[in-house]
Chain A
Amino acid sequence: MKDLLRKTLTLLSVYYAYMVEYRSELILWVLSGSLPIILMGVWIQAAQGGQFGLTSVGFARYFLAVFIVRQVTTVWVIYEFEKEIVEGKLSPRLLQPLDPVWHHVASHIAERGARMPFAILLVVLFFVLYPQAFWLPNLTNLLLFTLALVLAFALRFLIQYTFAMFAFWTERATAVENFWFLFYLFLSGMIAPLKVFPEPVRAVVLWTPFPYMINFPASLLVGLPVNVFQGFLSIVGWFLVFLVLNRWLWRLGLKRYSGMGA
Chain B
Amino acid sequence: MSIIIAQNLSKVYPVSVKEPGIKGTITHFFRRTYRQIKAVQDVSFEIAPGEVVGFLGPNGAGKTTTLKMLTGLIYPSSGKLKVAGHVPFRRQESFLQKITLVMGQKQQLIWDLPALDSLKINAAVYKIPDQEFQQRLGELTEMLSLEGKLTQPVRKLSLGERMKAELLAALIHRPQVLFLDEPTLGLDVNAQVGVRDFLRDYNLRYQATVLLTSHYMADITALCQRVLLIHHGKLMYDGSLDQLLEKFAPYREIHLELARPLSKDQLMAYGDVKRVDGRTVYFMVQQEALTRTVSSILADLEVIDLTVTEPPVEEVIRQVFQAGFIK
Q: Point out residues on A near B: beta carbons under 8 Å.
A: 3, 6-7, 10-11, 14, 17-18, 21-22, 88-89, 91-98, 254-255, 257-259, 262
* Residue of chain A at shortest CB distance from B123: A10
- Interface majority SS (helix, strand, loop, mixed), chain B: mixed
**In the bound complex, how far is the Cα of B100 from the Cα of A22, in angstroms?**
31
Task: Evaluate whether A96 and B103 lie within 8 angstroms (CB atoms) in the complex, with A18-B112, A257-B74 already known.
Answer: no
Q: A94 is contacted by which of B91, B112, B121, B122 (Cβ under 8 Å)?
A: B91
**Cβ of B216 under 8 Å from chain A:** no
Complex interface: chain A residues within 8 A of B47 (CB):
none
Assembled-state Cα–Cα distance A89/B105 (Å): 10
Interface membership of B18, Cβ < 8 A: no
Q: List 16 A-B contacts (CB under 8 A).
A: A6-B124, A7-B125, A10-B120, A10-B123, A14-B118, A17-B117, A91-B68, A92-B106, A93-B108, A95-B99, A95-B101, A97-B97, A98-B125, A257-B73, A262-B73, A262-B103
**Least Cβ distance of B106 to chain A in Å?**
6
Task: Tell me which residues across on chain A come within 8 A of B75, comparing CB atoms.
Answer: 254-255
Contacts of A262 in B (CB 8 A): 64, 68, 73, 103, 106
B113 touches A14 (CB 8 A): yes
Residues of A within 8 A of B73 (CB): 91, 94-95, 257, 259, 262
User: Judging by beta carbons under 8 Å apart, are A17 and B113 in contact?
Assistant: yes
- Which of A6, A7, A97 contacts B93, CB < 8 Å? A97
B113–A18 contact, CB under 8 A?
yes
Q: A14-B113, A91-B101 are in contact. Are A7 and B124 (CB under 8 A)?
A: yes
Cβ contact within 8 Å between B124 and A11 = yes
The answer to whether B127 has its CB under 8 Å from any CB of chain A is yes
Contacts of B121 in A (CB 8 A): 10-11, 14
Q: How far is the CB of A25 from chain B (nearest CB, A)?
A: 11
Which residue of chain A is the closest to B97 with respect to CB atoms? A97
In the bound complex, how far is the Cα of B107 from the Cα of A94, in angstroms?
A: 13
Q: Is B66 an interface residue (CB 8 A)?
A: no
**Residue interface mask B118-139, A partner, CB < 8 A = 1:** 1011111111000000000000
Q: Is the CB of B124 within 8 A of A10?
A: yes
Chain B nearest CB, measured from A233 CB (Å): 35
Which of A14, A97, A98, A257 touches B117 (beta carbons < 8 Å)?
A: A14
Shortest beta-carbon distance from B221 to chain A in Å: 27
Closest to B94 in A: A97
Name the one of B72, B110, B122, B124 contacting A18, with C-beta atoms under 8 angstroms: B110
Query: CB-nearest residue of chain A relative to B100?
Result: A95
A18 to B118 CA separation, bound complex (whole angstroms):
11
Closest 3 CB pairs of A and B: A92-B108, A10-B124, A97-B93
B106 contacts across to A, CB distance below 8 A: 88-89, 91-92, 262
- Give the residue of B101, B110, B126 whose beta carbon is less than 8 angstroms from that of A97: B126
- Whether the pair B126, A21 counts as a contact (CB closer than 8 A) is no
The smallest beta-carbon distance between B150 and chain A, in angstroms, is 14
Most-contacted residue by chain B among A98, A255, A257 (CB, 10 A)? A98
Taking CB atoms and an 8 Å cut-off, the chain B residues in 71-106 that contact chain A are 71-75, 91, 93, 96-97, 99-101, 103, 106
Q: Kindly identify, within residues 10 to 47 of chain B, every residue whose CB is under 8 Å from any CB belonging to chain A.
A: 13
- Cα(A11)–Cα(B123), bound, Å: 11
Chain A residue contacts of B64, Cβ below 8 A: 262
Cβ-defined partner of B122 (8 Å) among A17, A96, A257? A96
Residues in A with CB closer than 8 Å to B107 are: 92
What chain A residues lie within 8 Å of B99 (beta carbons)?
95
Residues of B within 8 A of A22 (CB): 112
CB distance from B144 to the nearest CB of A (A): 18
How far, in whole Å, are A94 and B106 apart by their CA atoms in the complex? 13
* Nearest neighbor of A257 in chain B, beta-carbon distance: B74
B290 to chain A, nearest CB (A): 46
